């Protein structure tokens, strides 16, 4: 396989871990790669040569037909609790090219998703369909615009080869950028199939990669566990605040870095419903909107189990310490969520009544099937005549409570509105808009709607005139269902 060099600065520190954690794996070349969408802004941040990446040689790299100079491609091993059931997994259709060092001296993984079979493919073809890869590109970049920690997308390349699912589909490769691809499932894999030394090597690597300041701590592994708990509490609170439903919160889809990873059957909530589920495979509602915080808590408990041998030589003492740290998660999550909800309501200070004020509004929204995003937009702009909820008696009573609460702070109305505008997005990637864009791209080779959505989601808090049309809620047409990309 040929190697190309144009501003790539790749390291392969992951391969210094014990060999059980990975298998050397070259991407499988494709027939006729074509660059469909390319993230100029991200490429510039990475310090990459955008002209080169748009050239035939650059497209070969993005498709897996060539690898950058310095790359030692691998597939990573991990396990995971999928819908509560422990399963042996690994990168079944993804190849990690290496860790790129940016001009800002940050190290990020560069991964090709849909790059062909690996040792962990479990009988699959290792390929990806165009629709799911475009979905991940759009949603991950929208999440970045919304201020939610996330992996990002550099490019989508079509392969010129069909892949077989229920019907033949257009093949594609997504280039994903992440702080790392270390997962809770990576630690579970080490604990289940490795030795104490393997678990320790992985934890040391994760600390060096993401939390190097912890090396000076008296108990670095317990401190590492604490930091991951904090990051996940913050992340899931951000999901809840923008109405995002991940759809498949398996332990292999929880990144140690605190980034959102693996956009499969994800969606954004239109009508407020805490029990909402969009994924076709989540028949029991395990990963419903309201279950995301407790599932994150459950996943973190699995991380704690995998690290017990590092926490204390006495397993009973280790269990007690892990359980003590896990007790902090609900409080940490609630603090982040409450602060975010206060900001959405224009509240600068804290008052004892805030919890009741917020939960009462959500109850009213649920009762009247109100649009989650647009209810907060209506409050932001004092436009309370455009939706059914605003004309109800219970909302009017709540609104008077809110106005009395606002009077308890010193900030002006304009300062309050500025705070609300910065925390209530004008647009989200509405599910019907995402589907329209995907249909046009996949069925008609028309990326206009994809590019339009990406443009509007670059700054969803801009509140521009062109975002108004995209802010409209869809006309209800029955339940919306999303599907896993595999």
What average pLDDT is seen over the chain? Answer: 95
Which residue bears the tokens 């991990």? 78
User: When comparing pLDDT for 472 and 307, which is higher?
Assistant: 307
Handedness of CA 159, 160, 165, 169 (dihedral sign): positive
pLDDT, tens only, 74-95: 999 999 999 999 999 999 999 9
Cα 119 to chain centroid distance, Å, stands at: 26
Catalytic residue among 60, 109, 252, 371: 252
Q: What is the pLDDT of residues 431-452, one digit of tens each?
A: 999 999 999 999 999 999 999 9
Residue 469 pLDDT > 90, yes or no? Answer: no
pLDDT tens per residue across span 188-232: 999 999 999 999 999 999 999 999 999 999 999 999 999 999 999
Q: Find, among 48, 51, 262, the residue nearest to 143 by Cα.
A: 262
Asked if 20 and 77 count as a contact pair (C-beta separation under 8 A), the reply is: yes
Angle at 381 between CA 377 and CA 385, to 5 degrees: 85
Cα→Cα distances 43→149, 156, 188, Å? 18, 13, 33
Asked if residue 481 has pLDDT above 90, the reply is: no
d(CA 199, CA 186): 9
- 280 φ/ψ angles, rounded to the nearest 5 degrees: -65, -25
Write the pLDDT tens digit of every residue in 320-365.
Answer: 999 999 999 999 999 999 999 999 999 999 999 999 999 999 999 9
Q: Measure the CA–CA gap between 470 and 401, rounded to whole angstroms.
A: 31
Query: Tell me: the pLDDT tens digits for 126-174?
Result: 999 999 999 999 999 999 999 999 999 999 999 999 999 889 999 999 9
Residue 69 — pLDDT band, cuts 50, 70, 90?
A: confident
Across the range 238-243, mean pLDDT stands at: 98
Residue 482 is predicted with a pLDDT of 80
For the chain, the residue count is 486
What is the pTM for the complete model shown?
Answer: 0.96
Q: Is 252 a catalytic residue?
A: yes
405-414 CB contacts, 8 Å cutoff, 24+ apart: 405/347, 405/351, 405/353, 405/354, 405/357, 406/346, 406/347, 408/349, 408/351, 409/347, 409/348, 409/349, 410/348, 411/348
Q: How far apart are CA 212 and CA 274, in angstroms?
A: 38
* Cα separation, 184 vs 80, whole angstroms: 8
| Domain spans in the chain, listed from the N-terminal domain onward | 3-178, 184-337, 345-486
């Amino acid at each position: 396989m040929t190697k190309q060099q144009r501003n790539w600065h790749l390291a392969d520190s992951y391969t210094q871990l014990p060999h059980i954690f990975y298998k050397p794996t070259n991407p499988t070349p494709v027939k006729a790669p074509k660059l469909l969408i390319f993230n100029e802004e991200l490429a510039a941040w990475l310090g990459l040569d955008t002209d080169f990446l748009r050239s035939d040689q650059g497209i070969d790299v993005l498709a897996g037909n060539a690898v950058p100079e310095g790359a030692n491609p691998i597939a990573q091993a991990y396990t995971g609790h999928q819908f509560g059931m422990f399963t042996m997994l690994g990168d079944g259709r993804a190849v990690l090219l290496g860790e790129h060092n940016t001009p800002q001296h940050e190290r990020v993984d560069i991964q090709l998703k849909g790059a062909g079979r690996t040792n962990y493919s479990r009988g699959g073809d290792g390929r990806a369909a165009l629709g799911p890869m475009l979905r991940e590109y759009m949603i991950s970049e929208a999440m970045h615009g919304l201020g939610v920690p996330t992996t990002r997308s550099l490019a989508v390349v079509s392969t010129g080869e069909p892949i077989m699912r229920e019907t033949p589909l257009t093949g594609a490769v997504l280039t994903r950028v992440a702080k790392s691809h270390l997962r809770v499932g990576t630690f579970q894999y080490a604990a289940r199939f490795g030795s104490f030394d393997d678990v320790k090597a992985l934890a040391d690597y994760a600390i060096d990669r993401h939390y190097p300041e912890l090396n000076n701590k008296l108990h670095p592994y317990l401190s590492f566990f604490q930091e991951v708990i904090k990051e996940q509490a913050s992340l899931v609170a951000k999901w809840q605040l923008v109405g995002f439903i991940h759809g498949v919160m398996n332990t292999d889809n929880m990144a140690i870095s605190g980034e959102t990873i693996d956009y499969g059957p994800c969606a954004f909530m239109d009508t407020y419903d805490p029990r909402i589920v969009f994924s076709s495979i989540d028949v029991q509602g395990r990963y419903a909107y309201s279950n995301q915080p407790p599932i994150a808590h459950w996943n973190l408990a699995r991380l704690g189990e995998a690290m017990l041998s590092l926490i204390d030589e006495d397993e009973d003492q280790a269990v007690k310490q892990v359980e003590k740290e896990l007790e902090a998660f609900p409080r940490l999550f609630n603090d982040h969520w409450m602060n975010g909800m206060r900001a959405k309501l224009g509240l600068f200070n804290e008052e004892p009544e805030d919890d009741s004020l917020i939960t009462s509004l959500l109850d009213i929204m649920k009762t009247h099937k109100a649009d989650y995003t647009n209810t907060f937009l209506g409050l932001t702009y004092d436009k309370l005549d455009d939706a059914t909820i605003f004309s109800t008696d219970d909302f009017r009573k709540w609104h008077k409570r809110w106005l009395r609460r606002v009077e308890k702070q010193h900030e002006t109305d304009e300062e309050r509105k500025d705070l609300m505008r910065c925390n209530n997005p004008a647009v989200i990637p509405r599910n019907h808009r995402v589907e329209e864009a995907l249909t046009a791209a996949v069925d008609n080779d028309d990326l206009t709607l994809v590019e339009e959505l990406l443009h509007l989601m670059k700054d969803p808090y801009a509140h521009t005139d062109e975002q108004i049309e995209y802010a409209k809620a869809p006309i209800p047409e029955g339940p919306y269902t999303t599907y896993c990309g595999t």
